[in-house]
Structure 1
Amino acid sequence: MIEPDRARQRRRQVPLLPDADPFLRTPADIASIAPGTVIRSRPVELALFGMVRQRVRAWQLAYRSNDLFSRPELAVTTVVTPSGAEPDPNRPLLLFQSAIDAITQRCAPSYALRHRASVSGSITRLEWPLIANALRRGWAVGIADHGGMLGSFGAPREPGYRSLDGARAALSFAPLGLDRRTPIGLWGYSGGGMASAWAAEMAPTYAPELNIVGAALGAPVGDPGEVFLRLHGGRYSGFPLMVVAALRRLYPDLDEVITANLLPAGQELLDEVERLAPLVALLRLSGRNVDQYLRRPLEEILGDPKVRGVIDDLRLGLSAPNCPLLVLQPVNDQVIHSASVDAQVERYRDAGVHVTYLRDRLSDHFTLLPLSTSLSLGWLADRIAGAPLPAPSTRTVLSTSAVSASWRGLLGVAGTALTVAVGGRLAGTNTPFTGPTIDRAA
């Protein structure tokens, strides 16, 4: 009987998927609870790829937030501090918005980052060694499931609600010891850059009490509708297919148009998309032309006023953040056209936002995030430290790795990745890094 008992014990250690997890059950009185209020908390164990335990302190906070239509809902964030860190009101808080880029619940950070979680093709898991660089600085990190329980990839506003309410929850969580004066930075790349942009845009009106000192936005999409058209039928057609599968559940008008024009094979395709992790979807759906699954050409469908209304609703840059922004974008990005991000930056500047915009000639969509990690965190550290802002600028450089004067910084990122890979301790301090950054680069 010993072996069956051990097998049952191992099964109990495997985390439950969000829809089966009692921790995430919505209380009946959630409408009476203020946004950002912690409803439940629990300690969790994080692991690299579900296998290598990480020497950090981590909790999950379930809290009240809102969906796209401002209806109350339960959301969850994973908050992390370095191992052995004591509650400290001077500790900065980094809100990292992951490039979840999926509908399946297995890709939610609250599941994908946990020890023994079973998921292949999650981008969040690949981002963890980069997130760990913030912990090495001694910062606290919050990673909200900004796609919500439905996995609403590409939805507007919802990522802002969930990320900002996640910050409120973290500030009130006693084991962190943070308070309303805690400096908060936003960071995200690609789908995470889009979510971070929503949080930055919504903060002035939705959560004005938060002390957000800066946002580092990597390849933040700009105009999701334009990205959809560009990727349709190409190598990365999995991304727009996942967005359509997610958004049709949120927009009744869009669902009506899609349903009326979808062939049976198209419905099967969207059902499949809902189950796929992003890296798997990109491989399996590469080159798929949506027209072969529709009763009339996609171009005609996109011209429908109901569909145009949804596309217009997704566009970023129409509200002004009240914090400075660092925007990073590959010039030759094969996923997000640089022109759409150029336009997003211009919309921000027209609204009076302070933007430092750096365009990278050598990097592509997938290499810029690791190469710019040291630069992004260094820039945020300067904002946390209250360093003077340089004049707003747009620069096109050969490589961000050179701009950041950061071979030392890149080596530090590599060292952190090695520490994470072996489950080593991420020793952090509370002293913000103020070494060479984009503001003072050679």
Structure 2
Amino acid sequence: MGRFANVWMPIYGLLTTVLATELIPPSQDPWYAAPPGFESKAPGTILRTRQAPPNITALANNSVEAHQLLFRSTDTLYRPSWAVTTVFLPTEESRAGRNKPALLSYQIPYNTLDVDQSPSYGLSTIYGENIMADVRQGLSQGWIVSVPDFEGPEAAFSAGPQAGHAVLDSVRAVLSFTNLTEPDSARYALWGYSGGAFASGFAGELQASYAPELDIAGIAIGEARQYLVDHLHKEGTHNATSFLSALHIPAAEAIALFSGQDIFGYFTNGDEIMRAPELARVFGNNWHESYHGIPQMPVYAYKAIHDENTNIRTTDEHVARICGVGANVLYDRNTVGGHEDEAISGGRRALKWLSDALDGRQLEPANGCKVQNVTVGVSL
């Protein structure tokens, strides 16, 4: 019991910890810049740490404390980079019944090209109650919960390898911070919905080659699936100014602003732009999941059949590909609800599955893949 109690104590003696007393946007906050010589450090090495701003900590009212870690990572082009994660530590009471520490890396769908919309800043200013409710749910089960800025310091939205590397390195950093680096000293899992599933999925595919020492208990991904300025119209209602306004607004605001619009209407040649060889190469490297490796851990995939954002076919194909090469997947296709509904009802099922994974229970199926239609509404 002594070892179990001690591993939760962060390694303050090895790090300089400061208190973030006020919120400063990442683009203006020198804390977010990597220190000189960071390139020589191993991926996942903690470069800087601080206590999270009080308003972020207060939102997770069942967390004993929250910290922010800046750590070494690797970008899409495999160059040295860095990223940040916000770590919430559970109370002693909530973790008392656990036989082994547990870590949930929760990738939120922040979908932005603006670094000032990153979770480490936006948790208290943008993303609101739904995200923090999930964080509190994990904390109530005694889990450490980590919320990484997986797009990195340049807000590289849709850069798959960048996101996957940052997620894996955030797990390395949190395990180091909590003294859980010994083999089998903790269980850890990944979770993401929509844009968060994109990051989690890439992490799952890249784990074997990039972070083979990480024995991930499972990954829950919701709405997993398979993006040009010079070609924008300069005039009319669908023009470059309108299109580029999305650069500096939150994803939810952009969705409302462009709701019901044909995005290809902004481009001079319509959807012809999507067939450009340059874009095909970029999409292949950064967007297409199931081409960068085979997840070596159990996967829980879930999606609403009538999701209005992406066709269910793309998720079906993604699951079929990884199942065809030996992945272990439980895939729920929900017959009711849309994208937002499945974020809620699917999220409940994901949390139950993650609880089983982090408790070390046998997951279904034991081997291979199981695809099933379910009917689970928001009110159930």
Superposed pair shares fold, TM > 0.5: yes
Q: Of residues 141, 148, 151 in structure 1, which corresponds to 2:152? A: 148
Give 1:413-432 correspondences, 5 Å limit: none
Shift of residue 286 of structure 1?
A: 2.1
In the other structure, the counterpart of 1:93 is 103
Distance 1:47 1:337, change over 3 A: farther
Distance 1:184 1:291, change over 3 A: closer
Q: Of residues 228, 245, 254 in structure 2, which corresponds to 1:281? A: 254
Distance 2:264 2:106 in 1: 36
Give 1:383-394 correspondences, 5 Å limit: 383-391=357-365, 392-394=369-371
Q: Which runs of 5+ in 2 are unaligned?
A: 1-19
For the 8 Å contact 2:62–2:140, the answer to whether it is kept is no
Residue identity matched to 1:98 = I
Larger deviation: 99-108 or 16-25? 99-108
For the 8 Å contact 1:219–1:327, the answer to whether it is kept is yes
In the other structure, the counterpart of 2:25 is 17
In the other structure, the counterpart of 1:317 is 290
For the 8 Å contact 1:109–1:143, the answer to whether it is kept is yes
What CA deviation, in whole Å up to 9, does each residue of 1:295-322 have, x standing for no partner?
3x22222222112222233111122010
Could you say what secondary structure the match of 1:141 adopts?
A: strand
In the other structure, the counterpart of 2:16 is none
Comparing both chains, which one has the higher relative contact order based on Cα–Cα distances under 8 Å and sequence gaps of 6 or more? 1
Distance 1:400 1:204 in 2: 36
Distance 1:332 1:162, change over 3 A: same
Distance 1:387 1:400, change over 3 A: farther
In the other structure, the counterpart of 1:306 is 278
In the other structure, the counterpart of 2:344 is 370
In the other structure, the counterpart of 1:347 is 321
Residue identity matched to 1:105 = V
Runs of 4+ that moved beyond 4 A: 50-53, 84-89
Distance 1:28 1:45, change over 3 A: closer
Distance 1:134 1:268, change over 3 A: same
In the other structure, the counterpart of 1:411 is none
In the other structure, the counterpart of 1:328 is 302
In the other structure, the counterpart of 1:164 is 168
Distance 1:370 1:109 in 2: 20
Q: Which runs of 5+ in 1 are unaligned?
A: 1-11, 224-243, 245-257, 408-442
Distance 1:52 1:91 in 2: 23
Distance 2:123 2:156 in 1: 19
Shift of residue 383 of structure 1?
A: 2.0
In the other structure, the counterpart of 1:71 is 79
Residue identity matched to 1:179 = T
Shift of residue 284 of structure 1?
A: 1.4
Residue identity matched to 2:131 = E
Could you say what secondary structure the match of 1:366 adopts?
A: helix
Q: Does 2:373 align with 1:399?
A: no
TM-score (norm 1): 0.73
Shift of residue 373 of structure 1?
A: 2.9
Residue identity matched to 1:195 = A
Distance 2:267 2:361 in 1: 54
Distance 1:280 1:337 in 2: 22
Shift of residue 289 of structure 1?
A: 3.4
Shift of residue 68 of structure 1?
A: 1.0
Distance 1:316 1:46 in 2: 37
What is the number of residues matched between the two proteins?
348
- Between the two proteins, what is the percent identity of the paired residues? 28
Q: CA RMSD in A?
A: 2.5
Larger deviation: 391-400 or 18-27? 391-400
Residue identity matched to 1:217 = I
Residue identity matched to 2:105 = L
TM-score (norm 2): 0.84
Q: Does 2:109 align with 1:109?
A: no
In the other structure, the counterpart of 1:337 is 311
Shift of residue 292 of structure 1?
A: 4.5
In the other structure, the counterpart of 1:58 is 66
Could you say what secondary structure the match of 1:212 adopts?
A: coil
